[in-house]
Structure 1
Amino acid sequence: MPQPPKQLTPSNGALDLFGSEVRRYRERASLSIAALAELIPYSPSFVGAVERADSGCERGFAEAVDGVLDTHDALVHLHDGLFGKKSGAFPTWFEKWPRVEEKAGKLVVYQPLVIYGLLQTPEYANVVLGGDVTGVESRMKRQAVLTRDDPPPPRLVYVLPEHVLWLEKGGPDVMRAQLDRLVAAVASRASVQVIPAGVSHPGNDGAFVIATAPDGSETAYVETAARGIMLDATDDVSRLKDVFTDICTQALPVSMSIDLIERTNEERWKI
């Protein structure tokens, strides 16, 4: 049975307002999400993410939808007003995720290319973010969710492939401090597990995080080559949970992972 459309509150922010207008114009044209996607160069999942305010979009999306729905450039005008001159700390498609992190009771994370953002040092983050000072500051502020007292921080389960420990970001000094940070992060409510190099696993399709709220509701954040997308459909989250379970079966236990991280730091990054 199809899930009812997510209720949006335009006053909550730019993403809700834009998504609600895309949905309004689409429904006025008596088109389903799938039918609209057939008329524009965007997938049904992306159209749905925009309408649910789980993802922002570039101006070209607004142009494409305006073109097929005969809106007289209403969406382009709205997009320009909401996002055209926006220079915030986060990309528009990421703006809602920090709020999900703050409410989470548990975060499970798989990141195959770089160290997970909430565990990055400022120096490592600076390299990953290309020197974006505002971005680095915002990322460091987000990390407070892991050290807060009230409410307790979310339970963090983080898995990464061994090769991430080898990928140089900023030189030996930066890498040495970053790997030390990973080891120090392991605590009663945080675990780090490494998949040894050469071990086959199903985590090659990209990074994702699954956040579980205290009420049991789950939201996922999935990275793509173009942007990140938030998902809350039960089937989508369930598939990601299955993938994460399969990935974890190939990861070393926490104690062995710490030994591997420390050994890598000593052999590869110590001068």
Structure 2
Amino acid sequence: MPPRRQRPRESPALVAFGRQMRRMREAKGVKQDAIAQLTTMSGAQISRIENGKRRATRSFVEIVDDHLDAGGALINLWEDLNKDGHPVPIWFDWPKIEADATMLITYQHSVIPGLIQTPAYALAILQGNQSAADARIGRQEILRGPREDGFSPPIYVILIDEQALYRQVGTSETMKEQLEHLRHMSMSPNITVQVVLGSGEHDGNMGAFVVATMEDRSEVAYIETAVRPITTDAPADLSTVARTLVSLRSRALTDEMSRDFIGKVVRERWT
């Protein structure tokens, strides 16, 4: 039996910020609803920020700091937790976002996404690092369900460039097993796989990304870069990703056509 799914631990940075914001708000006798109305966010979203489950943007913090007459204290705390110019926090909070999401949409241009990798493929792509490969495979538990712990699996939409199907990782047998696994998983009720035809130019050539939609309908994007991955919920970033998704989906095969295409690649390239 697979291990019982556990919620990831809260991010200390988010918890620290959320608790301080709540203290300052309550000290002024301000209700969450007032902050929600002021920032055009829902009460549920404000609650998630104060509970350390959602990251606050700089613009949000500036509005709240001014309304609470905090004199920049809340802004200073946000900046202290926002090292190196990255959203609070950076990479380390993504596993929790991924686990709590109700929908994940990912685009990969060169490799099979981690949540759908086989053990052999993951081990090869991680250059033989067994502990890292085991951790990656362990994250795939979020796709299984419904389970006795009450979690339902997220909707998982995979847009994958056709070149990733031809790019060898490990042995030919590894590739055959991986693509057959990809086809099999695409028949799960919560998983859709669409192959993006590689011809032509599109914004997806800039890099891989994942968009997580949370229970309150807010979105967070995880964007891979040459330096480090970035986790962001900045509106400008999300708008750019949304435009890219429109472009990619216009070039993608349907799920059924994609399964046929993947099967053709298995037969012609990896068998």
2:102–2:215 CA contact under 8 A, matched in 1: yes
Q: Which residue of 1 aligns with 2:171?
A: 171
Query: Which amino acid is 1:155 matched to?
Result: I
- Would you say 1:5 and 2:58 are equivalent positions? no
Counting only pairs closer than 5 Å after superposition, residues 238-253 of structure 1 correspond to structure 2 as 238-253=239-254
Matched position secondary structure for 2:169: coil
2:173–2:270 CA contact under 8 A, matched in 1: yes
Counting only pairs closer than 5 Å after superposition, residues 145-156 of structure 1 correspond to structure 2 as 145-149=142-146, 150-156=150-156
Larger mean Cα displacement after TM superposition, 148-157 or 174-183? 148-157
Q: Which residue of 1 aligns with 2:269?
A: 268
- Would you say 1:23 and 2:58 are equivalent positions? no
- Long gaps (5+) in structure 2: 1-56, 63-75
Q: What is the alpha-carbon distance in structure 2 between the residues aligned to residue 105 and residue 5 of structure 1?
A: 26
Query: Which amino acid is 2:218 matched to?
Result: S
Q: Which residue of 1 aligns with 2:237?
A: 236
Counting only pairs closer than 5 Å after superposition, residues 121-270 of structure 1 correspond to structure 2 as 121-149=118-146, 150-186=150-186, 187-270=188-271
Residues 232 and 49 of structure 1, relative CA distance in 2, 3 Å threshold? farther
Deviations, residues 42-84 of structure 1 (Å, cap 9, x unaligned) = xxxxx677564332xxxxxxxxxxxxxxxxxxxxxxxxxxxxx
Q: What is the alpha-carbon distance in structure 2 between the residues aligned to residue 239 and residue 127 of structure 1?
A: 32
Residues 51 and 178 of structure 1, relative CA distance in 2, 3 Å threshold? closer
Q: What is the alpha-carbon distance in structure 2 between the residues aligned to residue 229 and residue 250 of structure 1?
A: 26
Shift of 1:5: 3.2
Shift of 1:21: 7.0
2:87–2:232 CA contact under 8 A, matched in 1: no
Q: TM-score, normalised by structure 1?
A: 0.68
Query: Which amino acid is 1:242 matched to?
Result: R
Shift of 1:24: 4.1
Q: What is the root-mean-square deviation in Å for CA atoms of aligned residues?
A: 2.2
1:154–1:189 CA contact under 8 A, matched in 2: yes
Q: What is the alpha-carbon distance in structure 2 between the residues aligned to residue 263 and residue 125 of structure 1?
A: 23
Matched position secondary structure for 1:221: strand
Q: TM-score, normalised by structure 2?
A: 0.68
Matched position secondary structure for 1:191: strand
Q: What is the alpha-carbon distance in structure 2 between the residues aligned to residue 221 and residue 49 of structure 1?
A: 17
Deviations, residues 94-120 of structure 1 (Å, cap 9, x unaligned) = 321110011100001001111000000
1:180–1:262 CA contact under 8 A, matched in 2: yes
Shift of 1:4: 2.5
Counting only pairs closer than 5 Å after superposition, residues 9-158 of structure 1 correspond to structure 2 as 23-24=79-80, 52-55=87-90, 94-149=91-146, 150-158=150-158
Matched position secondary structure for 2:153: coil
Report the count of equivalent residues: 198
Matched position secondary structure for 2:106: strand
Residues 21 and 2 of structure 1, relative CA distance in 2, 3 Å threshold? closer
Q: What is the alpha-carbon distance in structure 2 between the residues aligned to residue 159 and residue 198 of structure 1?
A: 15
Matched position secondary structure for 2:109: coil
Shift of 1:181: 0.9
Q: What is the alpha-carbon distance in structure 2 between the residues aligned to residue 196 and residue 221 of structure 1?
A: 23
2:87–2:231 CA contact under 8 A, matched in 1: no
